[in-house]
Chains A and B, each alone.
Chain A
């Protein structure tokens, strides 16, 4: 398979996942229903598709794309295949913020803001602590993140054990990721697209940075600028995605690595491909989360792991 084929396969997969997400649910819609809904605005399928399922699929795609891109950038910048928003403790900070808001009985928007604040606080803590003598090594940054994540986990457990049973249910959903209580808003699409473009512009620089900062600098990369821009954008992506969808793990780790195993390490291909694959994976996971045990909805994080673990292991151990 060459790179063109892989891109086509990816796009096809993405389209299929959207169609699947739109047709599956309490009422199953056929392809005919979907096509006719574009012209018949009064029908139930139209309402079902354009007011419920399509926005939710769109939200899933955006969050998946953001988390996957954030993971890709962090792995390249830290030169560590394990780096992702989860490992660096960013999800933990967001979760602590969100759980605190849920415990205080605040509304959706405040929960979201609190999660966003928690994520930013965690990012700033990691960078402030790891930043000393004007330079930091990636291992130190990663270790700081891991240790902070452990701290956040303790706070999360504390909040879980001291909350009422009713709240704990909501908290568990938030912790495993849940797309059901949020709507797509107008600024999220341009945000993802602009960060994708920024990452794409710097992707040849990223190819060099992943071979070591000194090497990159010696080949003409302004490492400080690139690092600053890409760390801030990936942090922003993570904070936004988590505040929208809860702490969905694994996508940031899985999507970039699956693609590296198939198309190699050139970030000029990886950046767009990771966004598409991350988005597609989350749509599929969310569709299954809504439907496998319907009318019960499962947290989407369970499904990303169920889908992701075997696929990932297959790619990792397949014969080249």
Chain B
């Protein structure tokens, strides 16, 4: 089933063209990575797909309806976003910060139920954070805070997860563990993430979208798109490829 469909999408930010005439259809069960240089507009694309900013022209269709037809609350049940930075300015416990993921499911007079707390605690357990649930998030390390945000997304449990560099601040153990859990939870849904680590993307994603920085793009199955030639065009440096068994590694020459 098609989860996210972009038709003739034009996005610009300032004077940078992120994409021109972007046509891409993303289905349930796929996981997409968007690759591009710094400032190529990966974050802008994610914000646009989440309905947080307007595209210049074109249509975004979520499941079977145009994005602007959704109410904010219903949209939050369909799409979850992991932002690159968090801006918590007041003290808040790890559990409270995870429980906000239930907000899209509560009406204006409801409080979080026991069941919501169970869901939040389960997500924290998956992220290995349950022992820290009463800690103030400002006392956590950067990686722990990142995992709290991911636990919040798991608690929100949307049909489409848009992740802006999910691996930021994570050590390699947690990079692998976190992506495995995300992949597991969203296996019949849609994962869409921006990343800089080509090899990790290669390992976890089925499809890729390359933003070349001038509005042009390349997209398709990852094995067709993430190639030495395309990566050299994308990053503007020489890339070497190393294969062993069924693992392929790309690295700067």
Q: Which residues of A contact B (CB under 8 A)?
A: 75-76, 79-81, 201, 204, 207-208, 210-212, 214-215, 217-222, 260, 264-266, 268
Contact = CB atoms under 8 A, between A and B. Distances in A.
A215 B87 contact: yes
B104 A220 contact: yes
A219 B75 CA distance: 8
B193 to A, nearest CB: 15
Nearest to B85: A212
B111 A268 contact: yes
A203 to B, nearest CB: 10
A249 B15 CA distance: 45
Given A211-B86, A212-B86, A219-B156, A260 B91 contact: yes
Given A204-B103, A208-B100, A268-B111, A218 B52 contact: yes
Nearest to B77: A220
Query: Chain B interface: which size bin?
Result: 20 to 34
A211 B73 CA distance: 17
A118 B185 CA distance: 56
B100 A217 contact: no
A255 to B, nearest CB: 15
Contact of B72 (A75, A211, A221, A268): A221
A265 B89 CA distance: 10
B103 A217 contact: no
Interface string B60-99: 0000000000001111110111010011111111001100
B50 interface: yes
A264 B93 contact: yes
A260 B87 contact: no
Given A218-B50, A265-B96, A79 B104 contact: no
Contacts of B77: 220
Contacts of B156: 219
B108 interface: yes
B89 A80 contact: yes
A219 B86 contact: no
B110 to A, nearest CB: 9
B106 interface: yes
4 closest Cβ pairs, A-B complex: A220-B76, A212-B87, A220-B73, A220-B104
A99 B136 CA distance: 45
Nearest to B105: A220
Contact of B83 (A75, A215, A268): A215
8 contacts: A79-B87, A204-B106, A211-B92, A214-B52, A218-B52, A218-B83, A219-B76, A222-B72
B86 A265 contact: no
B111 to A, nearest CB: 7
A266 B86 CA distance: 18
Contacts of B101: 219
A75 B91 CA distance: 13
Given A204-B106, A219-B76, A221-B72, A264 B100 contact: no
Interface in B173-228: none
B83 A210 contact: no
Contacts of B96: 207, 264-266
A219 B97 CA distance: 12
Nearest to B152: A219
